[in-house]
């Protein structure tokens, strides 16, 4: 019936039908088409009202009005019939459950998938500030700072969730979702974590995008929905160099999803695990690019809050930072839960304590990430969460794996007092000087 509105209303309903399609599909071109249909019908109706008879209407105006009438009537009918399938497509998009697939890694067959990993999160083991961090643990003396020991086997850093840690594996079979999520066709799985599941999809123009479907449900709370959408929309102001652009954010029934630019490449975490630490030149380029990305994020008024190796993708054109601002948006949704969103080994002391955080917390996480890239070790260890929290708050990590030129900068970034840390823009300047 929707597609027959132009026919039944002699074209008068066409602007509304096409406008509805533009809103559902988020298409600027369809919005322009709706305006043009409206102008055509409007000109015809105004001319008919003023002149009464078609014999009295000037030839030019009569021609334009006739084109507007039949364009909105017949053309609108054809246009609506073409769009009907996309606008009202039923199937998995309406009953899509984003629970983690059986396994993840690369989708079977070409093209090769990026090893996206959504930031796994850990519910804080404390409820700050009422509960204090774990007492200082006895540690062997180390004049160079805390230096976690590698096990004999190949290093694979854990990712903490509320249950068992999740380890990405490229040898696992990948569940390939089929169907639609809004106007996006799902064609593969890219990763999973504490925040949600990431899928590879095609947009209406046939371009690949990454869609993060969040685990958090909104349960019809309109205030929370609007707050979440507002927080994620803020990330679209971030300059696009060295970041994966946020293209769309929406809520399908009570499930939110964020659409971003698809970057084909491994995460920094996966790259270091497979190929070892970065050399000095590669580390310097990585440090400069990621600091530039953080500077752009902070300039837009956004704090990443979950910067870590899994959220840095190494694409063909260099490093790209992903998932910025998602943790903040989820904090707005779960503000009454008492949980702290983040990955403990890369969280700042003030973040662990539940205090107000700003760009300084990303700078702390940036330095911890650079230590991992240079050494293959997690800066504050990889054992139990209480031990990691204790080291983040009370200990200084070993910096000897970093090039000499970066050690003083990393030490400043890891200062326990946020106000003593440099800004991301300062980091860029100090690297190039």
Q: What is the pLDDT of residue 387?
A: 94
If DSSP codes are grouped into helix, strand and coil, which group holds residue 198? strand
pLDDT, the chain, mean: 75
Query: Phi first, then psi: what are they for 212, rounded to 5°?
Result: -100, 115
Structure tokens at 199: 């899928």
55 is catalytic: no
Q: What is the pLDDT of residue 278?
A: 95
Report how far residue 5's alpha carbon sits from residue 2's, in angstroms, rounded to the nearest whole number: 6
Q: Any idea which fold 180-432 has? A: Transferase(Phosphotransferase); domain 1 (1.10.510)
Q: Which residue is catalytic, options 248, 266, 306, 398?
A: 306
Q: Of 44-48, 139-143, 287-291, 374-378, which range is least confident?
A: 139-143
If DSSP codes are grouped into helix, strand and coil, which group holds residue 46? helix
Is residue 89 pLDDT above 50, yes or no?
yes
H/E segment holding residue 45: helix 28-51
Global pTM value: 0.58
Report how far residue 285's alpha carbon sits from residue 291's, in angstroms, rounded to the nearest whole number: 10
For the segment 215-243, the average pLDDT, to the nearest whole number, is 70
pLDDT band at 139 (very low <50, low <70, confident <90, very high): very low
Tens-digit pLDDT profile for residues 165-206: 333 333 333 455 568 888 999 999 888 766 778 899 999 999
Tens-digit pLDDT profile for residues 336-366: 444 556 789 999 999 999 888 899 999 999 9
Report how far residue 114's alpha carbon sits from residue 105's, in angstroms, rounded to the nearest whole number: 8
Higher pLDDT, 214 or 113: 214
Tens-digit pLDDT profile for residues 258-281: 888 898 889 999 999 999 999 999
Q: What is the pLDDT of residue 240?
A: 73
Q: Which residue has the tokens 């800004």?
A: 423
Q: DSSP E strands: which ranges in 246-384?
A: 246-252, 255-261, 265-267, 312-315, 318-321
Q: What is the pLDDT of residue 417?
A: 96
Report how far residue 137's alpha carbon sits from residue 95's, in angstroms, rounded to the nearest whole number: 49
Is residue 332 pLDDT above 80, yes or no?
no
Report how far residue 362's alpha carbon sits from residue 424's, in angstroms, rounded to the nearest whole number: 8
Is residue 126 pLDDT above 80, yes or no?
no
Q: How far is CA 136 from CA 33, 123, 147, 184, in A?
A: 66, 21, 16, 50
Q: What is the pLDDT of residue 217?
A: 60
138: Cβ contacts below 8 Å, ≥ 6 apart: none
Q: What is the pLDDT of residue 4?
A: 79
Domain edges within the chain: 2-87, 180-432
pLDDT band at 370 (very low <50, low <70, confident <90, very high): very high
Sign of CA pseudo-dihedral 134, 159, 306, 401 = positive
Tens-digit pLDDT profile for residues 26-68: 778 888 888 888 888 788 788 778 877 767 778 787 788 788 7
pLDDT band at 380 (very low <50, low <70, confident <90, very high): very high
């Amino acid at each position: 019936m929707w597609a027959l509105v132009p026919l039944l209303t002699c074209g008068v309903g066409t602007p509304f039908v096409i406008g509805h399609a533009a809103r559902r599909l988020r298409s600027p071109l369809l919005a322009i088409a709706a305006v043009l249909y409206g102008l055509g019908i409007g000109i015809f109706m105004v001319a008919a009202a003023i002149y009464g008879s078609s014999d009295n209407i000037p030839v030019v105006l009569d021609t334009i009005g006739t084109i507007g009438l039949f364009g909105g009537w017949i053309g609108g009918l054809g246009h609506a019939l073409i769009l009907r399938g996309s606008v009202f497509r039923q199937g998995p998009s309406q009953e899509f459950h984003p629970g983690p697939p059986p396994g993840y890694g690369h989708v079977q067959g070409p093209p090769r998938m990026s090893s996206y990993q959504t930031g796994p999160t850990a519910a804080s083991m404390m409820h700050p500030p009422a509960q204090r961090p774990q007492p200082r643990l006895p540690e062997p003396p180390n004049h160079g700072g805390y230096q976690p020991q590698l096990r004999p086997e190949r290093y694979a850093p854990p990712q903490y969730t509320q249950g068992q840690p999740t380890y990405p594996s490229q040898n696992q079979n990948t569940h390939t979702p089929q169907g639609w999520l809004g106007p996006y066709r799902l064609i593969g799985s890219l990763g999973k974590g504490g925040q949600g599941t990431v899928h590879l999809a095609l947009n209406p123009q046939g371009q690949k995008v990454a869609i993060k479907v969040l685990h958090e449900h909104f349960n019809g709370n309109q205030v929370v929905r609007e707050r979440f959408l507002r927080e994620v929309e803020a990330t679209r102001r971030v300059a696009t160099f060295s970041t994966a652009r946020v293209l769309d954010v929406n809520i399908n029934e009570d499930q939110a999803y964020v659409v971003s630019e698809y970057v084909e490449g491994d995460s920094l975490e996966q790259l270091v695990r497979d190929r070892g630490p970065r050399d000095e030149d590669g580390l310097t380029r990585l440090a400069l690019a990621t600091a530039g990305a953080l500077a752009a994020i902070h300039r837009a008024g956004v704090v990443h809050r979950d910067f870590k190796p899994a959220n840095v993708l190494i694409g063909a054109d260099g490093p790209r930072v992903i998932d910025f601002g998602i943790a903040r948006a989820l904090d707005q949704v779960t503000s009454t839960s008492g949980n702290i969103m983040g990955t403990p080994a890369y969280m700042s002391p003030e973040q662990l304590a539940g205090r107000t955080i700003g760009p300084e917390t990303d700078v702390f996480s940036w330095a911890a990430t650079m230590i991992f890239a240079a050494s293959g070790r997690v800066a504050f260890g990889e054992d139990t969460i209480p031990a990691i929290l204790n080291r983040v708050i009370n200990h200084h990590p070993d910096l000897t794996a970093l090039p000499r030129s970066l050690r003083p900068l990393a030490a400043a970034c890891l200062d326990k007092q946020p106000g003593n840390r440099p800004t991301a823009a300062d980091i860029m300047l100090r690297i190039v000087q």
